[in-house]
Homo-oligomer: A and B are copies of this chain.
């Protein structure tokens, strides 16, 4: 599409409707809007068909509200991630209308029901109760991005029967997200059960030699299952983003 816009511009240059110097300016004018402290990309949603996403940490409620408003003005749905309850409240006071999921720390501005665009199901498999916030983020993001999601909880590798009892659900998915802390062994086991891409999310759950998710991260990167790729520690959002792109193929 951009190629089209450039062709059109060059044709207008050829036809004399646009001066070369003007054209240089236009070539430099790219699709974003400056708000204080941020350069908001208003066209990404058009390009990708995905809602715009705002990563909340390190931003004040004022900044978040301003960015969300700029994006909402251009008609797009917006999803803010890692939003604390207090911040969500403070944003809501400013611009209203959002929907907050406390466990997943997601703040959503858009339709209550998102049309399904993904072609199959995304399975989100969560090792333990303590991994729930990260897994919930993955589930919430995947749903807001137009995917059908199956969610399995508390199926860690030390109690295989709990996992195997749900193996049909896992095998039925088009892409699987596996969320685990501690030793992070679950993606290896799940990866061995299916022939679909597995996206592993290490969590910072654990203590001591878990080193805030490093043990799980290393375990997933060195998985003996070949169908596993990995995202950052606690990055439920990233896993859902990648899974969404795969599920649209």
Contact = CB atoms under 8 A, between A and B. Distances in A.
7 contacts: A30-B161, A185-B185, A209-B232, A214-B218, A226-B241, A229-B238, A230-B231
Interface string A22-40: 0110001111100001110
A79 to B, nearest CB: 11
Nearest to A245: B197
Size class of the contact patch on chain A: 35 or more
Contacts of A204: 208
B185 A41 contact: no
A160 interface: yes
Contacts of A217: 208-209, 221
Interface stretch (A2-10, A70-78, A91-99, A109-117): A2-10
A160 to B, nearest CB: 6
B231 A221 contact: yes
Given A7-B24, A157-B157, A210 B222 contact: yes
Interface in A215-229: 215-229
A134 to B, nearest CB: 10
